[in-house]
Amino acid sequence: MPVVGRRDATLAVLALVLLAGCSAPEASPKEKIRALLTEVERASRDKDLGALRDVISERYADSAGRDKRELDGILTAQYLRRGSVHVLTRIRSLEFPRAAHAEASVLAGLARTPVLDFADLRRPQADIYVFDLELAEEDDSRWRVIRARWRPARPDDLY
C-alpha cells in the first residue's frame, strides 16, 4: 500500500483550499427566497404536493388559526378542485426585519393552463392573489413559510 508523503498531503490540502475558494459563493437570503418561489411555481406545475408541503414550516400558524396540516388540506383541495394549477409569481416587496426572518408580499397568478406572464391571467379560470408571507430560515438552512395571509388582488395591486 503506497504511503502518502508529507509533500503529497500538503499539495492535496492546498488543492482543497483552492477549490473551496473557487466554489460559488453561498446564495444570499434574497436569492434563496427567490429560488423558493421558483420552486413553488415548478412544484405547482408538476403537481408535486410533497415539494409544496416542504415549503411550509412545521411551525406554521396564521391569524385564522390554521396550522401546517390545515394549510396542506387547502392545497390538496385546490388540486382536487382545479385539477391542474399553474402559478406565476412576482415579488412586490421583500424585507429582512431581523436575522433569519423575512417578510414578502407576492403577487401570484393561478390558472388551469400554463401562464407565461400576467397578461395571460386575463382569460377565464385564472385568479390573481396577493400573498403576504413571513418566512424563517430554519435549522437546516432552508427558508420556509411560517405565516401567510392572502386575498384576491385588486386592480391597483397589478401596478
Digitized pLDDT (tens) for each residue of the chain, 159 residues in all: 444 444 434 333 433 333 334 444 678 999 999 999 889 888 887 888 899 899 999 999 999 999 999 989 988 887 777 666 778 888 999 999 999 999 999 988 877 777 666 665 565 567 888 999 999 999 989 999 999 999 999 988 877
CATH (one of 3.40.190.10, 3.40.50.1820, 3.10.450.50, 3.30.300.10) for 25-158: 3.10.450.50
CB-based burial, 74-105: b 16+ in 10 Å, e otherwise:
ebeeeeeeeeebbbbbeeeebebeeeeebebb
Domain boundaries, the chain: 25-158
3-state secondary structure (DSSP) of residue 55: coil
